Amino acid sequence: MKKHKTIMAAAFGLAFASGAAWADITVGVSVSATGPAASLGIPEKNTLTLMPKTIAGQKVNYIVLDDASDTTTAVKNIRKLISEDKVDVVIGSTITPNSLAMIDVAAESKTPMISMAASSKIVDPVDDKRRWVFKTPQNDQQMATAIVSHMVDAGVKTVGFIGFDDAYGEGWWQQFSAIAEARKLKIVANERYKRSDTSVTGQVLKLYAAKPDAVLIAGSGTPAALPQKTLKQRGYAGKVYQTHGVANNDFLRVCGADCEGTFLPAGPVLVADQLPADNPVRKTAQDYVSKYEAAFGKGSVSTFGAHAWDAGTLLVNAVPGALKSAQPGTPEFRAALRDSLEGLKEVAGAHGIFNMSPTDHLGLDQRSRVMVQIKGGSWQMVK
């Protein structure tokens, strides 16, 4: 009791000392830079260092906290950002459960929040609480539709599913199974595995025994390579689909030749250079890739970082409007920023074009995804 009072006093003083100066725009960020979602959170965290330091002449301060992929910490972080650091907007978190948990706090304090997690549940339906919440990544639903369409076009009739034993795999299963059913695709196997499993032989044998025309692997980052490698080992010859979660170069490194020919939907940023010259996303995506690779090395870019970048892009476009009506650091500014975010139209980000509306707080359309195939150890846009 006594001890924590003293520490508290110390911490208290510290918080004030490091607190932001008045009237600057303060952006609070909670990313999952450690824990199971670290492979998603780290590029996001890296991207934040590339964000503009001033918007419309106003200095912008970023306060970045790690939530260790844990909901409790995520909620603690957003409470701290809002009540201690008086942030004008919150970006985060990386994963769906954390983002869902943060919604209540954001809405309670009337602070706009831009999530970097995939599930459509975060912004849909836009109700009293979700008024305050926006997000940048494509919904799983959009990506799943792309996969199902591609499968149907390629003549696939039966499909096997294997996904992470967590919110990611679960979200995909819900979306994919619903859409597949609507399009008369038959799902013949449904398996789960853990991100950290060292073997998926059991699951793969079962998939293999069901003889699907195609297999969808719903995992993110390098752990998604394991089922595919095991499938190859067992001599599976059908099509393999991955999700956009694997879209980084580490995946190619680990999966190597075994992933040759794999299809996946992804944000256009993954194949920025292959986009047609008239695609409005091409320029913004290339811009992001070159900035990121200049800072963190060639080949280091991943699509997840680009979600953070898009959050920044949204702010860059929304802040000037909000500044007209209120001063940063005030509730009025936060409300104005929210309104301004909701009114954004035709904003080109690295992942697509955002058209927000009072009923759509994501604003991405078909232009936000492309089908990509792994060929010769690199990402190739399909047609």
Partner 1 sequence: MLLGQDGVTNGAIYALLALALVLVFAVTRVIFIPQGEFVAYGALTLAMIEAGRLPGTLWLLLGAGVLVVALDGLDALRRGGMARLLQVVAANILYPLALLLLMRTTSTDTWPLAAKVLLTLAVVVPLGPMIYRIAYQPVAEASVLILLIVSVAVHVAMVGLGLLFFGAEGSRTSSFSDASFTVGPMMVSGQSLWVIGTSLGLIIALALFFNRTIYGKALRATAINRAGARLMGISPALAGRLTFMLAALIGALSGVLVAPIATIYYDTGFLIGLKGFVAAIIGGLASYPIAALGAILVGVLEAFSSFWASAYKEVIVFTLIIPVLVWRSLTSHHVEEDE
Partner 2 sequence: MSNPRSSAVPAPVTGKVPLVRALPWLLLVLLVFVPVTLSPFYVTLLNYIGLYAMVALGLVLLTGVGGLTSFGQGAFVGLGAYTTAVLTTSEHLPAWLAWAGGSPWLALIIGLLLTAVVAVVLGSLTLKLSGHYLPLGTIAWGISLYFLFGTMEVLGGHTGLSGIPPISLFGWVLNEGEEIFYLIWAFLLVAILTTRNLLDSREGRAIRALKGGRVMAESMGVDTSRSRMIIFVIAALHAAASGWLYAHMQRFVNPTPFGLHIGIEFLFMAVVGGAGHVWGAVIGAAVITILKQWLQDILPVLFGASGNFEVIVFGVMMVLILQRAPNGIWPILARWWPDTASKRKVDAGAAPLPRRQMPAAGEVLLQAIDVTRKFGGLVANNTMNLSVAAGEILALIGPNGAGKSTMFNQVSGVDTPTSGEVLFRGQDVAGKTAREVARMGMSRTFQHVRLLPEMSVLENVAIGAHMRGSKSVLPAAWRLDRAEEARLLAEAARQIERVGLAEHMFDAAGSLALGQQRILEIARALCSDPCLLLLDEPAAGLRYREKQILAELLRKLRGEGMAILLVEHDMDFVMGLVDRVVVMEFGEKIAEGLPEEVQKNPAVLEAYLGGVA
- Residues that bind partner 1 in the complex, under the rule CB under 8 A: 34, 36, 38-39, 41-42, 162, 165, 191-203, 205-206, 221-223, 225-226, 233, 248, 250-251, 253-254
**If we measure between CA atoms, which residue out of 41, 64, 65, 61 comes closest to residue 52?**
61
Smallest distance from partner 1 to CB 253, Å: 8
Query: Chain-centre distance of CA 82, in angstroms?
Result: 22
Q: Strand, coil or helix: what is 349?
A: coil
Which span (20-28, 167-175, 279-287, 315-323) binds partner 2, by CB under 8 A? 167-175
What DSSP letter does each residue of 43-74 carry, written as one string? HHHHHHTTS-SEETTEEEEEEEEE-TT-HHHH
Which of partner 1, partner 2, none is residue 103 near (CB under 5 to 8 Å by kind)? partner 2
Whose Cβ is closer to partner 1: residue 250's or residue 260's? Answer: 250
**Joined tokens for residue 307:** 């979600």
Q: Which of 24, 124, 170, 360 binds partner 2 (CB under 8 A)?
A: 170
Whose Cβ is closer to partner 1: residue 43's or residue 349's? Answer: 43
| C-alpha distance across the termini of the chain, in Å | 66
**Joined tokens for residue 30:** 């909670």
**Joined tokens for residue 181:** 């059913």
For the CA atoms of 374, 375, 376, 377, what is the dihedral angle to 10 degrees? Answer: -10
Using CB under 8 A as the binding rule, the residues of this chain from 22 to 61 that contact partner 2 are: 33-34, 45, 48-49
Distance separating alpha carbons of residues 272 and 361, to the nearest angstrom: 25
- Helix (H) / strand (E) element for 286: namely helix 280-296
Q: Which of 20, 60, 65, 151 binds partner 2 (CB under 8 A)?
A: 65
Smallest distance from partner 2 to CB 4, Å: 4
- Helix (H) / strand (E) element for 104: namely helix 96-108
Query: Chain-centre distance of CA 170, in angstroms?
Result: 16
Asked if 224 interacts with partner 2 (CB under 8 A), we say no
Whose Cβ is closer to partner 2: residue 121's or residue 232's? Answer: 121
Which of partner 1, partner 2, none is residue 325 near (CB under 5 to 8 Å by kind)? none
Distance separating alpha carbons of residues 362 and 136, to the nearest angstrom: 6
Whose Cβ is closer to partner 2: residue 70's or residue 310's? Answer: 70
Q: Which of 23, 54, 83, 205 binds partner 2 (CB under 8 A)?
A: 83
Which of partner 1, partner 2, none is residue 71 near (CB under 5 to 8 Å by kind)? partner 2
- The residue type of 5 is K
Which of partner 2, partner 1, none is residue 222 near (CB under 5 to 8 Å by kind)? partner 1
Whose Cβ is closer to partner 2: residue 171's or residue 268's? Answer: 171
Whose Cβ is closer to partner 1: residue 222's or residue 286's? Answer: 222
Q: Strand, coil or helix: what is 277?
A: coil
Whose Cβ is closer to partner 2: residue 156's or residue 167's? Answer: 167
Using CB under 8 A as the binding rule, the residues of this chain from 104 to 143 that contact partner 2 are: 104, 108, 119, 121
Distance separating alpha carbons of residues 352 and 50, to the nearest angstrom: 19
Query: For strand 214-218 and strand 158-164, is the pairing parallel, antiparallel, or unpaired?
Result: parallel
Query: φ and ψ at 335, to 5 degrees?
Result: -65, -40
Whose Cβ is closer to partner 2: residue 108's or residue 181's? Answer: 108
Distance separating alpha carbons of residues 184 and 205, to the nearest angstrom: 25
Whose Cβ is closer to partner 2: residue 51's or residue 353's? Answer: 51
**Joined tokens for residue 62:** 């970023």
Burial environment of residue 190 by CB neighbours within 10 A (0 to 12, 13 to 18, 19 or more): middle
Which of partner 2, partner 1, none is residue 193 near (CB under 5 to 8 Å by kind)? partner 1
Distance separating alpha carbons of residues 137 and 304, to the nearest angstrom: 8
Smallest distance from partner 1 to CB 37, Å: 8
Contact residues: partner 2, CB under 8 A: 1-5, 7-8, 10-12, 14-15, 18, 33-34, 45, 48-49, 64-66, 68-72, 75-76, 79-80, 83-84, 96-97, 100-101, 103-104, 108, 119, 121, 165-167, 169-171
